[in-house]
Amino acid sequence: MGTEKTITLRINGCDETAEVPPHRTLLEALRGLGHVDVKCGCEKGDCGACAVLVDGEAVDSCLTLARSAEGREITTLQGLGTPEAPHPLQQSFAELGAAQCGYCTPGMIIASESLLRKNPAPSDDELRIALSGNLCRCTGYVKIFEAVQAAAAVMRQTGETI
């Protein structure tokens, strides 16, 4: 039971292969491949630290099996921008101090990107509800909400999407 199989995952635009048993989650596979920007928090869908985009939709990678993600387009935080050319969300999180320990940040940014793509001008209430699946134990959320609204304003001006 549970024999390993070689699969190819398309991560941030590149194909990577991994040997995975059936019970390997996408979260475990991504971290195993060195994508440690994807964080492991609760492993039960409660904290959002493990959020990635799968075919453009934000999902908890801890609730996805690695083999099920084969052939899908996976985007992690690092796929959104680079240190030289950060995504507006990455820029404003850094500038406005929206991260303290930073553990929740990748998931927060992935979830925010997904929200802003569907709703470029969320109200504060809409933003709070959209990020309700992402827990932060440090910031108290205020700075995170400010940073997402600031990035949203920039993105509306530049018409930026990923």
Partner 1 sequence: MYGEFDLTIPETLQEAVKVLAAAGKRAVPLAGGTNVLVDVRSQRLAPHRIVDLGRIGGLRGISVEGGRVTLGPRTTISELLASDEIARTAPALGDAARVFAGQMVRNAATVAGNIACGSPAADLVPPLLALDAEVTLTGARGSRTVALCDYYTGYKADQRAPDELITAISWPVPVKGTFGSFYKLARRKGDAITVVGVAVGLGRKEGCCAGVRIALGSVAPCPIRARKAEGVLEGEAPTAERIAEAARIAAEECSPIDDVRATGEYRRKMVEVLVARLVNSAVQAGK
Ligand X SMILES: Cc1cc2nc3c(=O)[nH]c(=O)nc-3n(C[C@H](O)[C@H](O)[C@H](O)COP(=O)(O)OP(=O)(O)OC[C@H]3O[C@@H](n4cnc5c(N)ncnc54)[C@H](O)[C@@H]3O)c2cc1C
**Residues in touch with ligand X (CB under 6 A):** 45-46
CA 2 to chain centre: 28
**Closest by Cα among 127, 89, 131 to 111:** 131
Q: Quick check: 43 binds partner 1 (CB under 8 A)?
A: yes
CA 71 to chain centre: 19
Q: How far is the CB of 127 from partner 1 (least distance, A)?
A: 11
Residue 124's binding partner out of ligand FES, ligand X, partner 1, none, with CB under 5 to 8 Å set by partner kind: none
Interface of this chain with ligand FES, residues 41 to 70, rule: CB under 6 A: 41-43, 45-50, 60, 62
Answer yes or no: are the C-beta atoms of 103 and 144 closer than 8 Å.
no
**Closest by Cα among 15, 12, 7, 14 to 25:** 7
Size of the site for partner 1 (CB under 8 A): 34
Q: Please give the residue ranges that form the binding site for ligand FES (CB under 6 A).
A: 40-43, 45-50, 60, 62, 99-104, 136-139
